[in-house]
Amino acid sequence: MIVTIDGPAGTGKSTVARQLAERLGFEFLNTGAMYRAVALVCLERNIAPQDDPAVAAVPHSVRMIFRNNRLWLNDRDVSESIRDTTVTEVASIVASNPEVRKQLVALQQQCAEQSNLVTEGRDQGTVVFPHAACKIFLTATAEERARRRMRELSDQGQAVDWEALLADLQLRDHRDATRACAPLVPAADAQIVDSSQMTIDEVLNHLEQLARERLQLKATTVRP
Ligand code: DC
């Protein structure tokens, strides 16, 4: 059984998907982390993100494993380093490389062979798991998403320029939505959830209800 959660950055997708997976007793797959890992390796090896053949060779050259919701690259825990702002920027470029996408999609589909999955990203309901029984498209206005990001950064004591933050987010939205390969669009059969006016708990409760209805689950844990 598969629940897909797609949508733009800053909607709280990862948090909600992880907690939903816990509530359902499913595994959680964060596919953005995989594109970020490819970006991290490019930065470390001085590979230009636009050098398509060189970038395409990266996924084959590393071992990516999720363990306890942390991402390991060749036995190195990179869960923190992939959150770096430079990695974020490069990830958005390498994610438009069709060869990289092909390899990561195959890895994502393998993950679903072993477990029930809540998976989040941009193309999970459209390309990776077109037959998933429950598809959600989680969205929020760009202004609200930028506000949330700004709060997060100021909580960490970082100075933030609101205009730059919003412009950055809109640029990445545009890149994700207009790329030729697997652009960010809701699947035709996805439930659209706008979280602009909702708390994380409200979103989580709503998605749990949707998922249980779609998957016909009772309030018990289900394994494959
Ligand atoms: O969700 P995120 O910000 O961690 O994703 C990092 C980048 O990867 C972002 O630019 C969108 C891209 N991405 C993608 O193209 N397809 C996915 N399934 C997941 C993420």
Sequential DSSP letters for 56-113: HTHHHHS-EEEETTEEEETTEE-TTGGGSHHHHHHHHHHTT-HHHHHHHHHHHHHHHH
Contact between 8 and 184 under an 8 Å Cβ cutoff? The reply is yes
Alpha-carbon distance values, 180 to 169, 176, 177, 185 (Å): 19, 9, 9, 12
At 223 the pLDDT is 47
State which ligand 1 atom lies nearest to the alpha carbon of 124.
18
The residue nearest atom 15 of ligand 1, judged by CA position, is 95
The predicted structure's pLDDT at residue 180: 84
Domain residue spans of the chain? 1-26+116-224, 32-115
CATH level 3 topology of 1-26+116-224: Rossmann fold (3.40.50)
Residue whose structure tokens are 């001085």: 46
HSE-CB for 97 with a 13 A CA cutoff: 27
**Any ligand 1 atom below 6 A from CB of 121:** yes
Q: How far apart are CA 126 and CA 122, in angstroms?
A: 8
pLDDT per residue, tens digit, the chain (224 aa), is: 999 999 998 898 999 999 999 999 999 999 999 999 999 999 999 999 999 999 999 999 999 998 888 999 998 999 999 998 899 999 999 999 999 999 999 999 999 998 899 999 999 999 999 999 999 999 999 999 999 888 888 888 888 888 998 998 898 888 888 888 888 899 999 999 999 999 999 999 999 999 999 998 876 554 44
Using CA positions, which residue lies closest to atom 8 of ligand 1?
Answer: 32
What span, in angstroms and rounded, lies between the C-alpha atoms of 172 and 149? 14
Which CATH superfamily groups domain 32-115? P-loop containing nucleotide triphosphate hydrolases (3.40.50.300)
Q: Is 0.85 topped by the overall pTM? A: yes
Whether ligand 1 lies within 6 angstroms of the CB of 49 is answered as no
Distance of CA 86 from the midpoint of ligand 1 (Å): 14
Q: What angle do CA 100, 115, 212 make, to 5 degrees?
A: 110
Q: Which strand ranges, in their side-by-side order, compose the sheet holding 134-139?
A: 27-30, 117-121, 2-6, 134-139, 191-194
The two structure tokens encoding residue 54: 């060189």
Q: How many residues does the chain have?
A: 224
Same fold flag, 1-26+116-224 and 32-115: yes
Task: Indicate which residue's Cα is closest to atom 10 of ligand 1.
Answer: 92
* Exposed / middle / buried, residue 77 (Cβ in 10 Å: 0-12, 13-18, 19+): exposed
Structure tokens at 118: 């809540």
Instruction: Report pLDDT for 198.
Output: 93
